[in-house]
Amino acid sequence: MTIENWSCPMPLRDHPSIVMGHGGGGQLSAELIEHLFVPAFGDGELAELADAAVLDPGGLISFSTDTFVVRPRFFPGGNIGELAVNGTVNDVAMRGALPRYLSVGLILEEGLPLAELGVIVESMAAAAAHAGVTIVTGDTKVVDRGHGDGIFINTTGIGILREGADIRPQRAEPGDVIIVSGNVGDHGMAIMSVREGLEFEASIVSDTAALNHMINDVLDTGTDVHVLRDPTRGGLAASLNEIATAADVGVLIEERAIPVDRTVAAACEILGMDPMYVANEGKVVAFVPAADADRVLDTMRSHREGVNATVIGEVTSTHRGMVAARTPLGSTRVVDMQVGEQLPRIC
Amino acid sequence: MCLGIPGKVIEITGEGVTRTGRVDFDGIVKEVNLAYVPDISIGDYTIVHVGFAITQLDEEAALETLAHLQELEAVEVELDPDAALAAEEAAAKGEE
Amino acid sequence: MKYLDEFRDPDLALRLIDDISRIATRRHVLMEVCGGQTHSIIRNGIDRLLPDEIEMVHGPGCPVCVTPLETIDKALAIASREGVIFCSFGDMLRVPGSGRDLFSVKSAGGDVRIVYSPLDAVKIARDNPDREVVFFGIGFETTAPANAMAVYQAKQEGLTNFSMLVSHVLVPPAMRAILDAPTNRVEAFLAAGHVCSVMGYEEYDPIAEQYGTPIVVTGFEPLDLLQGIKSAVLQLEEGRAEVENAYQRAVNRVGNVPAQEMVNDVFTTIDRNWRGIGMIPQSGWALADEYRSFDAAERFTVTDIDTVESPLCHAGEVLRGTLKPDECPAFGKECTPRTPLGATMVSAEGACAAYYLYGRFQELEATS
């Protein structure tokens, strides 16, 4: 889906870019809803255009929200729209729930080309359809030029908890095997490759993907999965540290086992960055009982999103609250929580 | 101050201070200033620091260093550790 | 990656560690000068694999750690100026000045941008003719040719909206300052590999001779570092004090002549203040007269900075190797990676940050 090919529905063609009126609640807003959002996000609750959606989830719900501000909004492998859908779908799924409904809140900057918005919205629709979720309610505001970053998206998701699912960081226990569903560092380095000042020609593509179907299949095997986490900002290192702290356990990783695409590894070398700290948008880290590791791996590998799933470490009762990694040399290094964002270095 | 990564020169344009190349690092291609390596050719390896080639990588020296290290590994030290050590020192001195 | 991965071979590395263990018959204190080497040592756990006889002292080889406080404060003041686009390497963003850092300037509205190369900053100047673009030109000799080229190109193109805040530091005077200190414990140096790619290693001969200190030009990968350490230890055991090159694929005696020529044209040697260490004569580079108009420190008259170093911070002694981080009274209390008082706790390869991490780890391992 490219911006050039996007065809603008009437009467939106009158306004090639977003103007303040589009957020004003009047005719322009209505046109945006009628001619862009509803056609993209489908009939059902949204088409009723009521103030709120009434839903009957039929069970315990998993509820999550996330806001997306990525720059640039179009990057190799995707755009902010599908990121926003997949991100919240995944968060909901991480508790062992089946994602069902999403809300979408948009903050648009005056001057955002409508064609860009069109492509983003259609990407969201496609991502939602693929994940099997419905966008049931939404809101749009417009801010003055210079006061936004083109577009900010909030998505909030509701999912139905699977019977008996109890998946949370505190359940990690010594003896658990730690599995990652595939190569790490793709998304963060894809963004780096197009950021001004850090550009390089690369074939690195964001891994943004909805993981709920794969996770569902893993849970269908009957495995008592203890923890699921999608390692987004801060990468694998942040997620592992959070879990180690929450469960007061030690985590020991085998550095050599962490799967990293060759080109991503090269990009990290050039910028002096550690793949363990780079963001992912289509990966899951799972803590499972050792006896179930093999079947979890087999199930993940049968999905496109999990072809490179592999065991990377285990939970220990030593160095509780800390994450350590065994280096290829056999020594142990501490993998600390980054204080802020990982930055490229020259030193 | 020192992050320098080896890459392969795959294209060269311009000359003098604006001599620029495209350098391939295992699939990542970056534009690199080649002003400081005026004798480098396509296919050569160079070490790149902050977008500049700071030296041509001496591939022969690289292979020699590795060969030397691998030889050491093969030497049977259990028999006569001191002789092995002496031989190695002599080899190291001979290279300088 | 070719010419990188081969020098990370674990079997060969363990073999070198074995050799070092056999060679060392008594305690030796070695210093690696370059922050990149420190990073690699810590990341690969090399210091934890070396025999107890070998003590690695992490040197002041990180521009993050040694850029003078006044310079950081100047950078912060300039970056806060209306209309300025302040470009910097990522390393400098979190270094604390007298109370804040570039990140906080950014959050207060400053246009602070990370760049990979100084030429990227020149490009930003070209693309934004109505904005003042300032590049934070820090580094050791390795980075100087790049920074020099940026200024040179800006001058050629007549880019009047580009300037550089220069803070270059030189390795040989730093080595001398360390060796001159009465409390010095360093017996041998691993010289910085890429500094020597640029400068060659002839300038280390008089130092090795005068102080009787072995100096081994060393690379950055595990095999390079271990080979360098092994050569240094061998020299110490045999009572030699020579300059050796253990990074032959990237370094030769004379260095990179075209790079040196550019540096000699654009920069001039000056006395330089090193944060935490103090004034080291003739240890820095500033823009030469011909390029003065590109000096950001002159273009932006910065007054009313109150340069205040935390009185609790002992980073200088740590940098010189005369104090261990955990011997500092503020260590782990007022000064932690989240609330750093000095650069050695901020920088990922700062000695204090490294100690903090591993100290906690060992404590936890012991109590499990």
Please list the residue range(s) of chain C that carry CATH number 3.40.50.11740: 64-170+279-299
The number of CA neighbours under 13 Å toward the Cβ of C156 is: 11
| pLDDT tens column, C228-268 | 999 999 999 999 999 999 999 999 999 999 999 999 999 99
Tell me the three state secondary structure of residue A316. Answer: strand
Contacts with B, C 103-122, CB within 8 Å: 116-120
Q: How remote is the C-alpha of A278 from its chain's centroid?
A: 13
- Domain, as residue range, for A91: 12-161
Q: Is A187 left (phi over 0), alpha (psi -120 to 50) or beta?
A: alpha
Which residues from A are below 8 Å from C8, CB to CB? Answer: 328
Asked if the peptide bond before residue A72 counts as cis, ω within 30 degrees of 0, the response is yes
Closest CB to C149: pick one of B26, B33, B89: B33
Using H for helix, E for strand and C for coil, what is the string for C144-161? HHHHHHHHHHHHHHCCCC
In this predicted structure, what is the pLDDT of residue C78?
Answer: 95
In this complex, do C195 and B2 lie within 8 Å of one another by their Cβ atoms? yes
Nearest CA in chain B to C261: B36
A67/C245 Cα distance (integer angstroms): 53
Closest CB to C249: pick one of B18, B61, B92: B61
Nearest CA in chain C to B70: C12
Please list the residue range(s) of chain C that carry CATH number 3.40.50.11750: 5-63+173-245
CB C181 within 8 A of CB C195: no
Nearest one of C26, C19, C25, C29 to C49, comparing CA atoms: C19
Token pair 């000064």 is at which residue?
Answer: C335
In this complex, do C259 and B5 lie within 8 Å of one another by their Cβ atoms? no
In this complex, do B1 and A265 lie within 8 Å of one another by their Cβ atoms? no
Residue at A211 is within a domain: yes
C274/C279 Cα distance (integer angstroms): 6
Q: Are residues A155 and A177 in the same domain?
A: no
Q: What single string gives the DSSP state of each residue in C214-228?
A: -EEEE-SSHHHHHHH
Assigned CATH class of C64-170+279-299: alpha beta
A324/A243 Cα distance (integer angstroms): 13
Interface check A201 vs C, CB under 8 A: no
Nearest one of C22, A62, C336, C248 to B56, comparing CA atoms: C248
Q: Are residues A209 and A225 in the same domain?
A: yes
Nearest CA in chain B to C92: B1
Residue at A205 is within a domain: yes
Residue at A345 is within a domain: no
Q: Are residues A316 and A269 in the same domain?
A: yes
In this complex, do B59 and C192 lie within 8 Å of one another by their Cβ atoms? no
In this predicted structure, what is the pLDDT of residue B76?
Answer: 43
C259/C199 Cα distance (integer angstroms): 8
Q: Residues of chain C whose pLDDT is less than 70? A: 304-306, 348-349, 367-368
C185/C320 Cα distance (integer angstroms): 9
In this complex, do C357 and A334 lie within 8 Å of one another by their Cβ atoms? yes
Structure token pair of residue B59: 């591939």
CATH code, A149: 3.30.1330.10
Which residues from A are below 8 Å from B2, CB to CB? Answer: 347
Q: Given a cut of 70, is residue B1 above it in pLDDT? A: no
In this complex, do A197 and C120 lie within 8 Å of one another by their Cβ atoms? yes
Closest CB to C116: pick one of A250, A271, A317: A271
A93/A79 Cα distance (integer angstroms): 21
Token pair 């020259």 is at which residue?
Answer: A346
Round the CA-based radius of gyration of chain A to a whole number and report it. 21
Given A131, A161, A191, which residue is the final one in a domain? A161
Residue at A6 is within a domain: no
Q: Are residues A118 and A185 in the same domain?
A: no
Distances (CA, A) of C219 to C3, C35, C246, C276, C339: 12, 12, 7, 26, 32
- Residue A135 makes CB contacts below 8 A (sequence gap 6+) with A41, A42, A46, A101, A102, A103, A104, A124, A125, A128
Interface check A336 vs C, CB under 8 A: yes
Given A127, A161, A195, which residue is the final one in a domain? A161
Backbone torsions φ then ψ of B87, nearest 5 degrees: -60, -40
| pLDDT tens column, B27-52 | 899 999 999 999 999 999 999 999 99
CB C215 within 8 A of CB C204: yes
Q: Are residues A149 and A259 in the same domain?
A: no
Q: Given a cut of 50, is residue B77 above it in pLDDT? A: no
Cβ of A95: how many Cβ atoms within 10 Å? 20
Closest CB to A203: pick one of B2, B3, B27: B27
Backbone torsions φ then ψ of C114, nearest 5 degrees: -85, 135
Touching B (3+ Cβ pairs <8 A), the chains are A, C
Contacts with B, C 267-286, CB within 8 Å: none
A337–chain C nearest CA distance, Å: 10
In chain A, the number of structural domains is: 2
Structure token pair of residue A304: 């496109």
Between A306 and C333, the more confident residue is A306
Interface check A266 vs B, CB under 8 A: yes
Closest CB to B29: pick one of A200, A345, A347: A200
C87/A214 Cα distance (integer angstroms): 43
A88/A85 Cα distance (integer angstroms): 6
Looking at CATH, the fold of the domain delimited by C5-63+173-245 is given as Rossmann fold (3.40.50)
In this complex, do A346 and B50 lie within 8 Å of one another by their Cβ atoms? yes
DSSP annotation of A36: I
In this predicted structure, what is the pLDDT of residue B80?
Answer: 52
> % helix / strand / coil in chain A, to the nearest 5?
35, 25, 40
C63–chain A nearest CA distance, Å: 8
Distances (CA, A) of A59 to A55, A63, A163, B61, C83: 11, 12, 9, 68, 56
CATH code, A236: 3.90.650.10
| pLDDT tens column, A173-210 | 999 999 999 999 999 999 999 987 788 888 899 999 99
Backbone torsions φ then ψ of C333, nearest 5 degrees: -110, -90
CB C317 within 8 A of CB C325: no
Nearest one of C90, C217, C199 to C144, comparing CA atoms: C199
In this predicted structure, what is the pLDDT of residue C368?
Answer: 61
C220/C204 Cα distance (integer angstroms): 19
Closest CB to C1: pick one of B25, B37, B59: B25
Q: Are residues A124 and A246 in the same domain?
A: no
Q: Are residues A201 and A327 in the same domain?
A: yes
Q: Are residues A255 and A272 in the same domain?
A: yes
Q: What single string gives the DSSP state of each residue in B37-96?
A: -TT--TT-EEEEETTEEEEE--HHHHHHHHHHHHHHHHS-TTT-HHHHHHHHHHHHHHH-
Residue at A341 is within a domain: no
| pLDDT tens column, A230-243 | 999 999 999 999 99
B37/B54 Cα distance (integer angstroms): 7
In this predicted structure, what is the pLDDT of residue A337?
Answer: 85
Structure token pair of residue C189: 């140096």
DSSP annotation of C280: E
In this predicted structure, what is the pLDDT of residue B78?
Answer: 47
In this complex, do A347 and C349 lie within 8 Å of one another by their Cβ atoms? yes
Touching C (3+ Cβ pairs <8 A), the chains are A, B
Average pLDDT rounded to a whole number, residues A321-342: 89
Interface check A345 vs B, CB under 8 A: yes
Q: Are residues A153 and A192 in the same domain?
A: no
- Residue A263 makes CB contacts below 8 A (sequence gap 6+) with A202, A203, A204, B26, B27, B28
- Residue C44 makes CB contacts below 8 A (sequence gap 6+) with A327, A328, A329, A331, A333, C222, C225
Structure token pair of residue C276: 């935490």
In this predicted structure, what is the pLDDT of residue A203?
Answer: 83
Residues of chain B with pLDDT > 70: what percent? 73
In this complex, do C64 and A347 lie within 8 Å of one another by their Cβ atoms? yes
Which residues from B are below 8 Å from C218, CB to CB? Answer: none
Residue at A126 is within a domain: yes
In this prediction the ipTM stands at 0.92
Q: Given a cut of 90, is residue A291 above it in pLDDT? A: yes
Given A117, A133, A161, which residue is the final one in a domain? A161
Residue at A347 is within a domain: no
